[in-house]
Amino acid sequence: MPANERQLRFLAKAELEPAVQADVWQQAVEQAGNKIPSGRIVKDVVDRIRESPKVPNPYHIGEICILLPKDNPDLRGKTGYWGVVSHVGKYNCTVQTWDGDYTVKIEHLKLLELLDEDCQFMQQLCVRLRQLHQVASRDSSVDWLLQGLGKQAKPYLSSLQAKLLAAVEREYNLVWKQPK
C-alpha cells in the first residue's frame, strides 16, 4: 500500500480506470523490487501506459497508406505522401515512399482502402519512383515529377503522367517491365 500522497499524485492525475490504476500500482511495485515505489517510478509507469496505443496495429504489409505528419518532426514536409507498408510492428509501421523509408507510429498513417490489384499497382509505382530517385545525376525537374506522383494517392496514372514517367525512365536507361 502507498505510504504517502506523493506516490499516488501522478496516478490520481492520470484519470485512469480503477482497474488500470491497480495495474499501474502493481507494475510500479514490481519495478521497485517489490517495495513501496517512489513517486517517480509511479509517474514513469503512468507515462508508459498513457503513451501506448489503445488499439492493436491494424496495418498489414503491402497496404498503401498516407503519411500524417502531425507532431512528428521526421515527417515534416511529407504531408500527403503515400507509401507501401513494408514492416508492421506492435505500435508502428515502416512505410516505403518514393524518397525513403519511414518508421512511424500508427497514428501517423491513414489507410487507403484499395483493392488488391490497386495495391499492386501502387507497389510497382513506388518501386519505379524509388529507382528514379536513386539516380544521382537526375535533373531537378525529375524531382518535381517524383514529388507530384509521390503525393498522388490514386491507383492509376493519367495517360500524360504515364508517358512522362516512361520518358524519364528511358532518359536514365531504366527499363520497367510490367509484371505478369
Are 159 and 96 part of one and the same domain? Answer: yes
The mean pLDDT value for 17-44 works out to 84
Give the pLDDT of residue 61: 96
Q: Is the pLDDT of residue 177 over 70?
A: no
Are 22 and 75 part of one and the same domain? Answer: no
Range of the domain at 27: 5-51
Using DSSP, state whether 111 is helix, strand or coil: strand
What percentage of the chain exceeds 90 in pLDDT?
A: 53
Are 126 and 169 part of one and the same domain? Answer: yes
Provide the whole-model pTM. 0.69
Cell 490520481 appears where?
12
* Span 113-130, pLDDT tens digits: 999 999 999 999 999 999
CB burial of 99-122 (b: ≥16 within 10 Å; e: otherwise) equals beebebbbebbeebebeeeebebb
- Helix orientation angle between 140-151 and 159-171, rounded to the nearest 10 degrees: 140
DSSP assignment letter at 107: G
Are 40 and 73 part of one and the same domain? Answer: no
Give the pLDDT of residue 3: 74
Give the pLDDT of residue 180: 55
* Contact of 60 with 39, CB cutoff 8 Å: no
Are 40 and 100 part of one and the same domain? Answer: no
* Span 41-70, pLDDT tens digits: 888 888 777 666 566 789 999 999 999 988
Are 111 and 161 part of one and the same domain? Answer: yes
What pLDDT band is residue 159 in, cutting at 50, 70 and 90?
very high
Give the pLDDT of residue 49: 73
